[in-house]
Amino acid sequence: MVPYQALYIYEIDGEIFGLRDFFKEDFIGCWNEAGVSFLFFTHPHDEAVKSLVDWKGSSLLSKNVFDYEDWQPKDELKPFKVGNLVISPPWENRMIEEGETMVHLDPCVVFGTGYHPTTRSCLKALWTMFQREKPKTVSDLGTGSGILALAAAKWGAEKILAVDYNELAVETALRNVRSNGESSRILVKQGKAEDFIEEKADLVCANLHLPIIESLLDKEAFFDKRWFILSGLFTKGAEEIEERLKQKSSRIDQRIQERNWMTLIGTNRVFSL
């Protein structure tokens, strides 16, 4: 059984955080992005949202109603396997076989079911890397549901920092980390990816929009990481990023392309000598 039936989504001008104390019932969470906040409820809350808008001096931009399986397509809420991991929504009864490890992943309403080409490519890249190398520390920037951080933990990373700017993504990742028993190895934080690139890590995994990846490459700390996995890139953007990496003597070890999306896997400068 999917966790929600209908989704009532209110689009509000301005980014708003910390609404758990304001809405007491039926509130799924708040998605903040590009100067706009999307409030998700399981039932209509017109009056409460109006009170919030009036209090904040903001404005209601739109109200929409979706079936949950339209927001998170039904075909993307099925178990699937990458390497030895079986990734499954908690409401599915998928049994694991010998040698397999289960990850129960509830995507809520955020990005990270595992079916998007960029997420799938990052999972494949992580599996390949952990068969060849042994990154002990990982930064997962743009963690979404926490799916990549959980995969890194199950494949042997000792410490993972999972970061997302979106408050609802952070709440979702925290639940998934706890439900999979990985709270001791995965630290989930809310904030901008650029503000956490200074954190030490063997591997940085960033499935993000092109401008944010460009800003990460502006930071010298990016090149202190031994390995990187960069995704969320269309082909042309990936070419631009690859050129910037080459200028820093970083090496591209693998490219994974699915439709128009490209994922770059590589090694940074002194580590590639």
Q: What is the pLDDT of residues 138-193, one digit of tens each?
A: 999 999 999 999 999 999 999 999 999 999 999 999 999 999 999 999 999 999 99
Distances in whole angstroms, Cα of residue 127 to Cα of each of 70, 82, 162, 163, 197: 30, 7, 18, 20, 22
Which pTM value belongs to this model?
A: 0.94
In a domain, 223, yes or no: yes
Domain range holding 153? 74-272
Identify the pLDDT of residue 167: 94
* Residue 127 and residue 56 share a domain: no
**Range 224-239 average pLDDT:** 96
**Is 130 in the same domain as 59?**
no
Question: Looking at the domain assignment, is residue 1 inside a domain?
Answer: no
What backbone torsions phi and psi does residue 232 show, to the nearest 5 degrees? 80, 15
Query: Do 20 and 144 fall into the same domain?
Result: no
Q: Say if 179 falls within a structural domain.
A: yes
Q: Are residues 200 and 164 in the same domain?
A: yes
How much is the pLDDT for 273?
A: 52
**Domain C-terminal end among 71, 101, 127:** 71
Q: What is the pLDDT of residue 145?
A: 96
Q: How many domains does the chain have?
A: 2
Which of 17, 50, 71 is the endpoint of a domain? 71
